Amino acid sequence: MRSHTDLGTLRKCEPVRIGESIPLHSHALSVTVFNGLNFSKWHEQVQFHLGVMDLDLALLNDKPAVITDTSSADKKYFHKAWERSNRLSLMFLQMTIANNIKSTFSQIENAREYLKFVEESFCSVDKSLAGTLMDELMTIKFDGSCSMQNHIIEMTNIAARLQTLGIKVDDSFLVQFILNSLPPEYGPFQINYNTIKDKWNVSELSSMLT
């Protein structure tokens, strides 16, 4: 993690001027827009892209002290670099948040505090939704109201939504969840599966059930 002590590294790099081309917009288009329900995925992506663009200095360091006439050259350089990082990071964060959510945020001029505010406001929503989805994945049952293929697709989609919230459901666990969702008449099928040495992935299980 870079810190304000890495001034030597900072000074070796030629400062990028605002007039120079920075692919801020193109990077923003690559980020999943934060909609209030996908904080974990959005948070991971914005940190990655800001790091790739070397704009994450303000996220990794507190705001430096005010510059005075007696401040050293290193402190002045770091202050300038932090101000630039903070300004562009704020722009990037705001470009990747849905307008209806962004409009409810108070005016925060520190990128690190802005990101923390979003986390505190919406991370609990992520956890609540993740708990609901996990309960659904563990308790859902195949009742014949749809085809077996659609039932498996529904469970796969739940697992995919969990992954966007930072919870990865391994293929082997998803296979077991699907088997557990089957009604009693599939008992012999489950017994046979438990006896085989090579376990199936979701696609193989689907082909055997449909």
pLDDT at residue 60, rounded to an integer: 95
Angle of CA points 121, 89, 75, to nearest 5° = 115
What's the rounded Cα separation, in Å, for the pair 115 and 46? 10
pLDDT for the residue numbered 5: 41
What would the pLDDT profile of 143-198 be if each residue is shown by its tens digit?
Answer: 999 999 999 999 999 998 888 777 888 998 999 999 999 999 999 998 888 888 78
For residues 141, 143, 146 and 150, what is the CA-based torsion angle, rounded to 10 degrees? Answer: 20
The pLDDT score that the predictor gives to residue 94 is 93
Q: At what angle do helices 111-139 and 73-95 cross, to 10 degrees?
A: 40
* Tens of each residue's pLDDT in the chain, 210 residues: 444 445 444 544 444 444 344 578 888 899 999 988 788 889 999 999 999 999 999 999 999 999 998 999 999 999 999 999 999 999 999 999 998 888 777 788 999 999 998 988 887 666 777 788 899 999 999 999 999 999 999 999 999 888 877 788 899 899 999 999 999 999 999 888 888 878 888 999 998 888
